[in-house]
Structures are given as C-alpha cells and as structure tokens.
Amino acid sequence: MKWENRGQSRNVTDNRGRGRGGSVGGGMASLGVGGFLIVLVLSLVFGVDLFSLLGVNSPLSGGGLGADTSTGVTVPGANASDDEMVAFVSSVLDDSQATWAGIFEENGIAYDEAQLVLEDGDVQSACGVVPEAAGPFYCPLNETIYLNFAFYDALQNQYGASGDFAQAYVIAHEMGHHIQNLLGTATDVRQQQQTNPAQANQLSVALELQADCFAGVWGGEQTRAQQSSSRVASITQADFQEGITAAAAIGDDALQERATGRVNPEAFTHGSSEQRVSWFSRGFETGDPSACDTFAAL
C-alpha cells in the first residue's frame, strides 16, 4: 500500500515510554511535585541544572518543560523507523476518518473524530485498566482507540499476518467500533445483551463482524476514490489479500485452536475466520455501510 508520510496526526497521542522515567512526569514522581518545583526554581535562579546533580531526569535538558509525552511528543530514544510507524498509523487513522466523515456528511449525520493513543505495557484507559495481551481496543467513553505495536509483532510473528495493510486493517476495525458508537449501535447491542444474556455472544459476534465490514468499507472506498488529498495513496489487490489474511488469522476459531487445540463456536465473541473474511470482503466490494447489517441474520 502506498501512503504519504505527513508526520503525526493531531488525533494521535504517543504515550509509550511513560512510567519508565522517560518523561518529566518521571522526575516529578521521584522528587514529589513540591520538590520538583523547588529544584526547578533553584536551577533557574543559579543557572545550574540541579536535576542532573540529583540524578533525576531533568526537564531543563532535552525537550524542555514542553516535552511532556502526554502532549503527543515522541519519547526520547524513538528511532527513525519508529517515527515512521507513528506517521503510518496517523495516515491510516486520518484517511479512515476522512472517508467516514464524507459518508456521514452524505447522510446528514454529524461526525465526531476519534482519538488514537499509542501505548506500551498495560493500558490505563478511560474504560479501565486493560492488559497488554488483550490487544488493541476502542473505548467509547472518550472515543479513543488504544494501540500497542507489540500486537503488530504478534500479528506478524505468531499469526503470520504481515504487511502494512494487515496493520492498517487493525486500525480500520477499531475505527469501525467508533462508527458503531457514533451511530448508537454499540449502546443498543449492550442493552440487548443485558435483556437477553443467552444471545450475548451472538450479538458480540455481529458487532465485531460489522466492524470488519466497516474496515472493508474504508479500504474499498480508498481504492475507488483515490482522492488527491488523501494520505493513503493506493490500496492494491495484494493489500486486500493482506487484510484477508489478518482477518482470518484473528478469527475466534483460529485463536481458540492456537490456545487450546479445540474450536468451540459457542464461545465465539468475534466470529470465525471465514465470517471475518466474508464481512471484510463485503464491505470492501460494496463500499456501502448499509451492506454491513450483520444483525439481520440473528
């Protein structure tokens, strides 16, 4: 897939490296806020960086006080290819949002932009603490996608789904959950799951398959539109195959087989590999969100 590096999106925040003393926050934590301010004032008064004398990460060296990772500045130590990954994620996110904003506008619905936070380790999200092993997720409370690059490694090395479009598909799927949130589908499904617990898994599968279909809608629209303003310049048939491979690799049956050696369709929450491939393809080929009614068959 061809894409243009336009740096970090304003909707992407890089929170990686937090809690490892790589930020101003690390220095504050070990000195205490009061101590931090005292040392800062004394350093400025005496013109000596007392932080380094105390062996604490100094806000006066490196990026300065403005270099708080929470503002989206890449943490120190990030190498060039890492910057490129941040730019890649930004491109896919921005492009997907532009596609959906267009679809919403055509239908007279207000579009609200999603945020994306890059994390490493366990995630303290607005939806609670989520372990790293759980993979990427969308939190509707703050309309934010949380993504860990470790999942991309797992996708390639454990699930055999490599390539940039496999990675793009993951973001496009989470964007699908954002669309469901904006359309009220996610809330409806949660209510239905409460009133009808016996159908809770089937409803969850339908929600996930619809997110796959929505991911396909973006990919397909992108292939057809080729807008000059878009950051993702082209998606080819080979890219489509990467998406298919990724969708198949993380089907519930494939994941269960890997984990337990058995497949139990009753416990599915995301759909089988075949279902995921089929709905992703359907979205891709039609480019039409209304073709993504995965609930009709329930």
3-state DSSP helix/strand/coil percent for the chain, to nearest 5? 60, 10, 35
Q: How far is the CB of 268 from Zn ion (least distance, A)?
A: 13
> Of the two residues 240 and 279, which places its CB atom closer to Zn ion in the complex?
279
> Of the two residues 56 and 211, which places its CB atom closer to Zn ion in the complex?
211
Q: How far is the CB of 173 from Zn ion (least distance, A)?
A: 6
CB 292 within 8 A of CB 214: yes
Give the number of residues in contact with Zn ion, rule: CB under 5 A.
2
> Of the two residues 74 and 273, which places its CB atom closer to Zn ion in the complex?
273
> Of the two residues 177 and 231, which places its CB atom closer to Zn ion in the complex?
177
> Of the two residues 53 and 134, which places its CB atom closer to Zn ion in the complex?
134
> Of the two residues 90 and 181, which places its CB atom closer to Zn ion in the complex?
181
Report how far apart the first and last C-alpha atoms of the chain are (Å, whole number): 35
Q: How far is the CB of 57 from Zn ion (least distance, A)?
A: 37
Q: How far is the CB of 211 from Zn ion (least distance, A)?
A: 5
Q: How far is the CB of 271 from Zn ion (least distance, A)?
A: 10
d(CA 33, CA 27): 9
Amino acid at site 282: R
E strands in 4-154: 12-14, 115-119, 123-125, 128-130, 137-139, 144-148
Compute CA distances 81 → 45, 87, 88, 95, 233, whole Å.
Answer: 40, 10, 10, 21, 20
Task: State which of positions 207-236 bind Zn ion (CB under 5 A).
Answer: 208, 211
Q: What are phi and psi of 29, to 5 degrees?
A: -65, -40
> Of the two residues 1 and 171, which places its CB atom closer to Zn ion in the complex?
171
Interface mask toward Zn ion for 179-208; x: CB under 5 A: -----------------------------x
Q: How far is the CB of 291 from Zn ion (least distance, A)?
A: 19
Q: How far is the CB of 276 from Zn ion (least distance, A)?
A: 10
Q: Which residues of 241-265 are buried (b: 16+ CB within 10 A; e: fewer)?
A: ebbbbbbbbbbbbbbbeeeeeeeee
Residues 6+ apart with CB under 8 A from 34: none
CB 81 within 8 A of CB 160: no
- Interaction site with Zn ion (CB under 5 A): 208, 211
